[in-house]
Chain A
């Protein structure tokens, strides 16, 4: 029972806001439209794709995506059309360009730094006991002297 519940939780996806009158009669085009809509950000609700957003602008954009597809646009052309009006911001998958280098590279830089720290920590814990310096000859003499005196019962 619990297992089924957990499986159901992971199977849950956000409900699409696509209304029946928006759906295209051509299933292939509709499939592409859904795919594109899931990658376009709603400019009103910002962290929701237009596919699941109930806002008026999102509906307009969904209809526009379908209109472009029916007119024969490629997926790329539809994305370009949206970007030319709303900027790269509408893409959930931002392009690789000078303004987004930090965005794309930051995870790798952080992973590298983290990995570096982990390696350093492990290395130090291994080095530990061997790193302790041995006594010099003079110190050995003093040490022997002290232990000898202790065993003789004489005090310092």
Chain B
């Protein structure tokens, strides 16, 4: 009896001690660097599915070519990637050595110390291989380069050649580009389209695309480098007015993205053109497979720009910064960017790749047109834009009000004032005015 009680207590004590040690281990183990790869023979890189080439990740997990002894293993992070990365950084534990960052890399500028300055690791020597605007967008206002160019999102006007033809409009990419050189011409074409093409197709799925593209054609956005709110100025108002004008002329199908209604509208030819980035091709092919061959691509009305595209960062917890930079140089060099394009449709940020045969394959979805003929020049001519850390919180209320205008019929003047008030209120909470 005595022996049994003791052993039971010992068992309890041992298991509790074990649980306690495990808990301590959770918080403490490997905290000498805070890197998730501490105690292993490889570096770790976090990405979301589709952000990096699986084939190249498989190669670097065995060993990065040209860098003896260096292994880099990728961890696809499911769910809310941004929150998970921020959580690990807030906890200063289990932070990856390298991490992908999305087009909103500027959100990290206030915490730029969390990332290594890639210039100090020798990035400057690579600058001329990459798109100028993309390179600059990874550099914070203080001059620290935290984001290395991963992929780009050059934009184009996607249009339904068949519907254009039936409306008696130009059909060839060069002619359509000339007919839609400005936003006003584009809207005029939309009116013709709606009155003459069968089924009265709309020009755009929703007016927020007009706003987004017109705003991205401006080097200035909502907040400038000195943390001043400039979103109430002409460059934003112009984009807003264009979007509202599109609504007034009845050229918007007024369907929200990634809803069943959007899918139906695209599949049934209710929307005859799209103004968006290269990465929308995959989604369009999924949503409207029956329209294959009918679409064409040409230059964006009002000039080229970029929408989206990711970056690669090296965190300050990285166990081997030189190794990580060597890996980055290998993974994002022109050769492997070309491979990533072939495998994952990641549009290269190295313009040298655009002329390679692998990128010049005709796409039957676009009637045999070579997409890079449109997207390549757009990527090379896109403007340098300054994105502050506050663009998202300003975009959110403006897009909300545009939705309110086109779906609820809200008065555009009032919507604009409400949007500006919401921007200023949220910004003042962040110390921006």
* A-B interaction: no
